[in-house]
């Protein structure tokens, strides 16, 4: 059985722990304080006993609230996000963890415009902007250089 080797012109595979916005931080603060309050009020009213499962749940509420507050102070998402960007012979493939892979077929591209950390691609009947803010500036420059080479070879207009 023959295996064909796929030529990878460009590949970025990275994991990022993204920041959360101010609205999410505020929401987490309020949720955390609410959970701590419910847990501590119920413990103070009913007391704590290892035989009482409600008391154990009240402690769990309080601890969960403290953890939520800590993560709002840290200001980052709980899990890492994995990004993969690959340019091969006929497509740009973008994969974000747990999302379906986005495939941009380069043969369908009419015009390519570069914006700061964004790419505006014109097809036959519509224009779409793709955000690459998760790339570093240097990675985006390398990506743009590879893409420009492809566009030049295949006579695709660039700006």
Condensed to tens digits (0 to 9), the pLDDT of residues 36-89 reads 999 999 888 887 777 777 888 888 999 999 999 999 999 888 888 899 999 888
102: nearest Cα among 129, 77, 125: 129
Task: Give domain status of residue 94, yes or no.
Answer: yes
* 10 is a domain residue: no
pLDDT at 19 over 50: yes
Domain that holds residue 30: 16-74
Q: Is the pLDDT of residue 1 over 60?
A: no
CB count in 10 Å sphere of residue 131: 11
For the packed helices 22-46 and 53-74, what is the interaxial angle rounded to 10 degrees? 160
Q: In this predicted model, which residue has the larger pLDDT, 136 or 52?
A: 136
Residue 8 is assigned to a structural domain of this protein: no
Residue 125 structure tokens: 């009947």
Query: In terms of domains, do 62 and 86 share one?
Result: no
Q: CATH number, domain at 87?
A: 2.30.29.30
Instruction: Verify that 67 and 108 share a domain, yes or no.
Output: no
Number of domains present in the structure of the chain: 2
Question: Do 151 and 91 share a structural domain?
Answer: yes
Query: How many alpha carbons fall within 13 Å on the CB side of residue 49?
Result: 7
**Per-residue pLDDT, 3:** 36
pLDDT on residue 6: 46
Q: Output the pLDDT for position 30.
A: 95
Mean pLDDT confidence for 18-44: 91
Strand order in the sheet with 102-105: 10-16, 81-87, 91-96, 102-105
Q: Give the mean model confidence (pLDDT) for residues 130-147.
A: 89
Whether residues 154 and 137 share a domain: the answer is: yes
The per-residue DSSP string of 16-45 comes to E-PBPPHHHHHHHHHHHHHHHHHHHHHHHH
Q: Is pTM, for the whole model, over 0.85? A: no
Binned at pLDDT 50, 70 and 90, residue 7 comes out as low
Give per-residue pLDDT as tens, 90-112. Answer: 888 999 988 898 998 888 888 88
- Percent of the residues in the chain that have a pLDDT greater than 90, as a whole number: 25
Pairing of strands 111-115, 157-158: parallel
């Amino acid at each position: 059985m023959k295996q064909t080797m796929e030529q990878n012109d460009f590949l970025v595979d990275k994991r990022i722990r993204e920041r959360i916005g101010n609205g999410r931080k505020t929401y987490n603060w309020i949720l955390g304080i609410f959970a701590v309050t419910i847990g501590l009020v119920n413990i103070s009213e009913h007391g704590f006993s290892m035989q009482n499962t409600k008391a154990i749940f009240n402690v769990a509420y309080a601890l969960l609230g403290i953890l939520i507050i800590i993560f709002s102070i840290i200001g980052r998402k709980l899990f890492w996000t994995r990004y993969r960007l690959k340019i091969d012979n006929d497509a740009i493939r973008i994969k974000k963890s747990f999302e379906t892979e986005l495939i941009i077929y380069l043969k369908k591209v009419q015009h390519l415009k570069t914006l700061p950390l964004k790419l505006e691609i014109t097809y036959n009947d519509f224009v779409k902007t793709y955000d690459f803010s998760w790339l570093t500036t240097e990675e985006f420059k390398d990506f743009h250089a590879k893409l420009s080479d492809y566009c030049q070879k295949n006579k695709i207009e660039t700006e």
